[in-house]
Each structure stands twice: as C-alpha cells, then as structure tokens.
Structure 1
Amino acid sequence: MKILIVDDSEFWRKILGDIFKDHEVEFAGDGLEGYFKIHEFCPDLVISDLVMPGLNGYLLCRIVKNTELKDIPFVIMTASSDSIDKFWGKYAGASEYIQKDSEDGIKRLKDYVASLRPIHECKRSKDDFKSSFERALNGLLVKSTIENEIRKFFIHIDDMNYVVRKIFDFVKSMFEIDDGMILIFKSDSMDVYTNFENFEDKMKRIFENLKTPSNLERRITYLDKKIYDSIDDMIWVFHQDRKENGAIFVARKREFSNSEKEMFSNVMIEVENLLNVGLTFEVYRQYSFTDKLTGLNNLRALNDYLDELWKNREEFFFCMIDIDNFKRVNDTYGHETGNNVLSGIGNMIKHLPSDLFSARYGGEEIAIVSKRKDLVEIVESLRSRIESTHFGPVKVTISAGIALSSGANSYTEVIEMADAALYRAKHEGKNRVVVAK
C-alpha cells in the first residue's frame, strides 16, 4: 500500500515511517509539499499532522477533498486533544482523527490501515499541479462566499416573502439575469414571485421538469415587471425529502457559460437548504398557532392578536360563539360526529370575509374578532346557515354574544362582556345573537 506521511516533525516522520516500513511510504515536511506529493505519488492513504507551517492539516484535507483525488482516505493525526480540533477535522473531510500521544492512537492507526485496500486507479489531473491547486483553492473560496451570502438570510427566516426577494436579488446580481421566477409550493397552492409580465409560457417551461401539478391555486407577487427577449435560461427544482417544494427559472439575453451553469448549481444547493428551513419553520408556526380540528387559529394566536390590537389602542368587536347542546351531540352520535360538526362550522367561518380574525377558543366555543361594524349581520347570517345545514346525521344551532372594546379596561374584559352576552343568548332560548349593552 502506498502511504504519504505529511508532518513537519522529523521525529514523527521517522516513527510513522518505521511503523509502516512494510508499505511504500513517501514523506512531506509541510502541507504545501504534501499537496504536490499527493499528485506525484498518488497514495492509497494520506496521514497528515494538524499544525504545520503554511498549509495546515485542515486546509490540506479540504483542498484535496475538492479535487479529483477526493476519494483518497485522509487521516489527521495530531497531539491536540481539543474537541473543536476534532470537529474541524471531521468537517474538513478527514476519514479518521487520531491523537498521537493517546494510549490507543498508534493501535487505532494500524487497525485503520489494515482495514484499507489499495486504490487501483488514481485519477491524475491533466493540468499542472499549480493550476490544480489554484482551482481547488478557488473552489473553496467560492463555496465559502456563497454559503456566507445565503446564510445572511437565515436571520429573516420567519419572513419568507423577504427571503425570497433577497434570494432573487442575489441571483440576479450574480448571474446578471434579465428575467426570473421563483415558485414555492404549499399543500394546495403555490406562491409565484416573478418579474415576467406575461409568465404563462415560462410556467409551462418550468412544469415540464416537475411532477407537481400546474393547476395549484396561485398567489402572484410581481417583483419588477419587465419584458425581455431572452435567449438562454436555467431551471432548478427544489426538493425536501424527495418531494418537490419549489423551482426557480432565470433567463437572459445572452447564453450562460458552462462555469456559470456549474456555479448556478452550487448556489441553488445553498438556496434549497435555506428554503427548506423556511418552509419547515412556516409549517411549525402554522401548527403552533392553528387549531388542527377546525383549521382556525388557536387560543395562543387569539391572545397575541388581541394583545396587539390593545397595545395599538384599536377599537374592535369580539364575538363568542357556542354550539348549542353540543354535549348531547357527542353523547347521542359519538365524538367523531361531534368533530365533524366542529370542523364543518370551522370551514364555514374560514369562508367569511378575510378581514375577520377567527379562533377556536376552547371546546365548542369559537371567537371572532373584527373592526367591522357589520359584524352582527355577518354572525347572524352564519347562524342562519348553520341552522339549515346537516352535519352528517345531525343539525345544530349556535348562540353568540358580541361586545365592543370601547370602554373596557383590558381585552380580557371585552371577552367577559361577550361571554355575558352569550350567556343571555343561551338563557333567552339559544339559537340567537345578542349584543352586550
């Protein structure tokens, strides 16, 4: 087996050379010499010290792993016991990280070497070593720069609209694109960010590469409407857990070079990671503020919304709705029917005007918050529709109490006033809407 030992210590070069004297061994006194020796000698294994002048073991490992010789096993062997050094060794791509002066360090190294098989084929670079070295360093610099630029957006991950716009600006600046479009897929819809005024033909081009259906409901955001006569384009499809969750389309009036296409792929890998984190965050946030059964907001979201209204001193109406005789529904027809009633009513409420804020308050109680003065009429219409609707084998009615925030000392008082009005509605015979006096 061909082994290259890279170490600035003559003492350790001799020790390791003696240990592996039955193998074909070459030596290098520092990282830069080691890099050139790897190309010349084409070893089956590299054993490198960590701390060396010029090019240390981390950098040597990272550079090698970014060349056509990346499959050569690489062992970092050092006197350092620092856990951070160990972490960076693994991050750099080292196969093993071994402490020189540990009790089992030499034994571990011997066992590792015994487990290896010689590399039969060595992919040598056709370029000279200097060009290969420069290319590897350039690749590391580019990768690091892309990672740093994309990761700046992670602090804004709670605002996907902002993140997507920033991604678009970054890609536009880097590749000097004229036109672009980013699609983000949700469960039953997609967000479309584009600067194409007429983008239907571009959509067709994108969906030629997708399994996702193109007839999802669209929410369009125009970034900057322009019309260009583009002649070349690039498309990238984003995935998470093998499922398509978006795509990007960029085009310009001149052709993309091979190096630009390769760079585009590198950038998109980082963008994909960013989008996956953002979409996962949105799902968690949705679960965190959404009632699973009704699809409405939950109590936590309601309290946050009311708190914001109150801090801004905005006047609002609060409506508390309760399903009449709901316990009897559960007792007679079972909890599954009761759940169907709740989800059905929740679906009706979701289709009320979009400026209403609705939430499941608890049990069979649902709250609606609005600044609209016609809230009483809206709730009355809802009550009438529920009364005439069959939810499976059962029909139900609702009672509601509505209170205005004006004059209250806290939003909790407003809730209590609406609750008192609801109690009156129940006491007066149910299936009615009562406004607090």
Structure 2
Amino acid sequence: MKILVIDDSEFWRRVIGDIFKEHEVEFASDGLDGYFKIHEFCPDLVISDLVMPGLNGYLLCRIVKNTELRDIPFVIMTASSDSIDKFWGRYAGASEYIQKDSEDGIKRLKNYVASFTPLHECKRSKDNFKSSFERALNGLLVKSTIENEIRKFFVHIEDMNYVVRKIFDFLKSMFEIDDGMLLIFKPDSMDVYTTFEDFEEKMKKIFEGLKTPFNLERKIIYLDKRIYESVDEMLWVFHQDRKENGAILVARKREFSSGEKEIFSNVMIEVENLINVGLNFEIYRQYSFTDKLTGLNNLRALNDYLDGLWKKHEEFFFCMIDIDNFKKVNDTYGHEIGNKVLSGIGSIIKNLPSDLFSARYGGEEIAIVSKRNDLAQIIDSLRSQIESARFGPASVTISAGIVPSIGANSYTEVIERADAALYRAKREGKNRVVFAK
C-alpha cells in the first residue's frame, strides 16, 4: 500500500515511517509540498499533520477534496485535544482524526491502516499540478468567502426582516439579480419576502414542485417592487429534517452561467443554515417569552418590557386583571374547563388594540401595559365582553386595577399599586375596574 506522510516535524515523519515500513511510504515536509506529492505519488492513503506552516492540514484536505483525487482517504493527526479541532477535521473531509500524544493514538492509527483496503483508482489530471491547485484553491476561497459573508448575518438573527434584506443585497452583488422572492414556512403560516410585482404567479410556480400547502396564511413583505420580464431564474428549496421550510427564487434579464449556478448552490447551503437557525430561534423565543396556555406573553417577557420602558423613562399605565372566583370554576367543573377559561380569555385579549402589551402574570392574573389614556375604557369593555362570554359550561367575570407609572420609584412599585387597586375592586364587589391615581 502507498502511504504519504505529511508533517513538518522530522521526528514524526520518522516515527510514522518506521511504523509502516512494510508499506511504500513517501514523505512531505509541509502542506504545499504534500499537495504536489499527492499528485505525483498517487497514494492510497494520506496521513497529515494538522498544524503546519503555509498550508495546514484542514486546508490541504479541503483542497484535495475539491480535485479529481477527492476519493483518497485522509487521516489528520495532531497534538491538539480540542474537540472543535476534531469537528473541523471532519468538516474538511478527513476519514479519521487522531490525537498524536494520546495513549491510544498510535494504536488507533495502526488499527486503521491494518483494516484499511485501498478502494480508489488514481485519476491524475492532464493539466499540470499548479493549474489544478489554483482551481481547487480558488473554489475553496469562493466557498470560504461565501461562508464568512453569510455567517455575518447570524448575529442579527432576531431581526429576520433585516437578515433577508441583507441576503438579497448579497445575491445582487454576486449575481446581479433583478428580482427575487424568499418564502419562510411556519407551522400555520408563511412569510413572503418579494420584489416581484406579480408575486402570486411566482409563488404558484414555486409551489408546483413542493409538498407544502399553498393555502397557508401569508404575510407579504415587499422589499422593492419592480416590473419586468425575466430571462432566467434560479430556484432553491430549503429543508430541515427532510421537511420543506422555505424556498427562494431569483431572476434577472440575462441567463445564469453554469458556474454561477454552482456558486448559487454553495450560497444557498449557507443561507439554508441561516434560515433554519432563524426559525429555531423564533420557536425558542416563542417558548421563552410566551405563555403556552393563554397565548399571551409570560412573566419574563413582561419584566423585560417594563424594564425597557423604565430605563427609557417612558410613562405608562399598568393594569392587573384577576378572574373572579376562579377556584370555584376549577372545583365545580375541573381543571380542564379552568384551562379553557384561561385560553378563552387569552384569545379575547389578543384581539385588543395591538399597541397594548398583555401577559399572563401568574395563575389567573393577567397584566396589560399601555401608554393610552383610554386604557380604563378599553379594560371596562373587556370586562363586559368576558361577562357575556361562555367557556364551555362556565361563565366568569373579572376585576381589574389600573394605575399610572407617574410617581413610582420602580416598575415593581407600579405593579404593587395596581395589585392594591385590584384588591379594592374585589372588596367593592368584583366584576369592576378601579382606576387609582
């Protein structure tokens, strides 16, 4: 078997050479030398050091995997015990990653070679090695540039509108696209980012080859509408766990070359990762800041919101709501109906004006924050609506206390004052709203 050992350490070249002296072994002293030796020697196996001057083991492995010799197995050896190094070794395409100085490192290498059967057929390029190297390196640089550019957007993943606009800016700079549409599928809806005037027709075209239903509720975000006839288009469908979760269509007035289509595929692999992270982040944020039963914000979200208002010295009104005799509902009808009451009230509250911030404070208490002077009238209308509603066999009423933030020393003090106003409403007979100045 032909083995190429690439290491800038003469000591390790000798050690590995002695271990496999029954095989035909060739040596290289650094990554660049190793690249040319791979083409000249056509080894059955490459054993390469990780840290070397000029071209390290990662880059060498990735470059070789972008040439006609990509099938040659690659073993990366290093003194590093860092798990992230192991990850990048695998990412580069290495068959094995072995720690030199570990107790079983040499043993693992021996076992790997002993069980190894050469499978590849050496296919030398007719071009000289330098031009082949330049092509592979250029391809690697393009991929690295794409990865670096797209990964810059990860820090802004909380603002998907911003991220999508940056993606389109990047695609315009790379491919001079004239138009585009990006769809992001959610459990029961989809976001549509588009510059197409005739976006309905474009969406139908995209959905022709998809399994995802076309009748999802849509949120349309226009990026920059244009009207023109495209000559060529490129389409990519995003997946996560083999499930479609989005698609992108880009178009321009002239045809895309085969090289551009290949680069577009590389770009889309990174964009797909970005979209998946964004969707996962949104789910995480939903679980982290939303009360599952009522669909309202939770206490954590409420505290963050109040803290933001307080730090900006903004005045607001705070309302604390409590369901009257809620324990009796649970005792009479059971907790399942009690949960139905909470979720039903949550649904009613979500239909209030969108500039109100509502959250489940805990138990059967709900908090509403607003800068509106007519909050008392809104809450009284809510009280009346809940009083006339039915939640299965149960009907309930609510009491509420409202206070302004003026004069308080902290937002916690505002909450305490609202609690006091709520209990006053309870003492005065329940099913009422008390506004305390």
CA 1:193 to 1:121, structure 2 compared with 1: closer, same or farther past 3 Å? same
Contact 2:147–2:270 (8 Å) recurs in 1: yes
Question: TM-score when scaled to structure 2?
Answer: 0.90
1:370-381 alignment, distance < 5 Å: 370-381=370-381
Distance between the aligned counterparts of 1:413 and 1:101, measured in 2? Answer: 61
| Equivalent residue number for residue 299 of structure 2 | 299
Contact 2:81–2:99 (8 Å) recurs in 1: no
| Equivalent residue number for residue 206 of structure 1 | 206
Distance between the aligned counterparts of 2:103 and 2:421, measured in 1? Answer: 78
1:73-152 alignment, distance < 5 Å: 73-77=73-77, 80=79, 83=82, 87=86, 89-98=89-98, 104-119=104-119, 121-125=121-125, 127-152=127-152
CA shift, 1:164, in A, is 1.3
| Equivalent residue number for residue 71 of structure 1 | 71
CA shift, 1:362, in A, is 1.1
CA 1:123 to 1:342, structure 2 compared with 1: closer, same or farther past 3 Å? farther
Structure 2, unmatched stretches of 5+, are none
| Equivalent residue number for residue 262 of structure 1 | 262
Question: TM-score when scaled to structure 1?
Answer: 0.90
Aligned length: 436
CA shift, 1:170, in A, is 0.7
Q: For 2:205, what is the secondary structure of its paired residue?
A: helix
Contact 2:31–2:52 (8 Å) recurs in 1: yes
Deviation string, structure 1 residues 218-269 (Cα, Å, up to 9, x no partner): 2222222221221111111222222222221110000111110110010111
Q: For 1:211, what is the secondary structure of its paired residue?
A: coil
Distance between the aligned counterparts of 1:250 and 1:288, measured in 2? Answer: 35
Distance between the aligned counterparts of 2:83 and 2:348, measured in 1? Answer: 56
Deviation string, structure 1 residues 95-114 (Cα, Å, up to 9, x no partner): 33446676655443322111
Contact 2:62–2:92 (8 Å) recurs in 1: yes
Distance between the aligned counterparts of 1:375 and 1:53, measured in 2? Answer: 69
1:158-237 alignment, distance < 5 Å: 158-237=158-237
| Equivalent residue number for residue 431 of structure 2 | 431
| Equivalent residue number for residue 2 of structure 2 | 2
CA shift, 1:374, in A, is 2.6
Contact 1:2–1:118 (8 Å) recurs in 2: no
Distance between the aligned counterparts of 2:161 and 2:111, measured in 1? Answer: 53
Distance between the aligned counterparts of 1:338 and 1:218, measured in 2? Answer: 33
| Equivalent residue number for residue 344 of structure 2 | 344
Deviation string, structure 1 residues 26-60 (Cα, Å, up to 9, x no partner): 44455444323433443221123456665444432
- Please provide the CA RMSD for this pair: 2.7
Distance between the aligned counterparts of 1:26 and 1:37, measured in 2? Answer: 8
Distance between the aligned counterparts of 1:354 and 1:415, measured in 2? Answer: 21
Whichever residue aligns with residue 278 of structure 2, its letter is G
Whichever residue aligns with residue 205 of structure 1, its letter is K
Q: For 2:354, what is the secondary structure of its paired residue?
A: coil
Q: For 1:391, what is the secondary structure of its paired residue?
A: coil
Q: For 2:158, what is the secondary structure of its paired residue?
A: coil
Distance between the aligned counterparts of 1:300 and 1:245, measured in 2? Answer: 29
Whichever residue aligns with residue 295 of structure 2, its letter is G
Structure 1, unmatched stretches of 5+, are none
CA 1:294 to 1:11, structure 2 compared with 1: closer, same or farther past 3 Å? closer
Contact 2:72–2:120 (8 Å) recurs in 1: no
Distance between the aligned counterparts of 2:413 and 2:84, measured in 1? Answer: 59
Deviation string, structure 1 residues 151-186 (Cα, Å, up to 9, x no partner): 111222222221111111111111100001122222
Q: For 1:206, what is the secondary structure of its paired residue?
A: helix
Contact 1:319–1:368 (8 Å) recurs in 2: yes
| Equivalent residue number for residue 402 of structure 2 | 402
Q: For 1:221, what is the secondary structure of its paired residue?
A: strand
CA shift, 1:424, in A, is 2.5
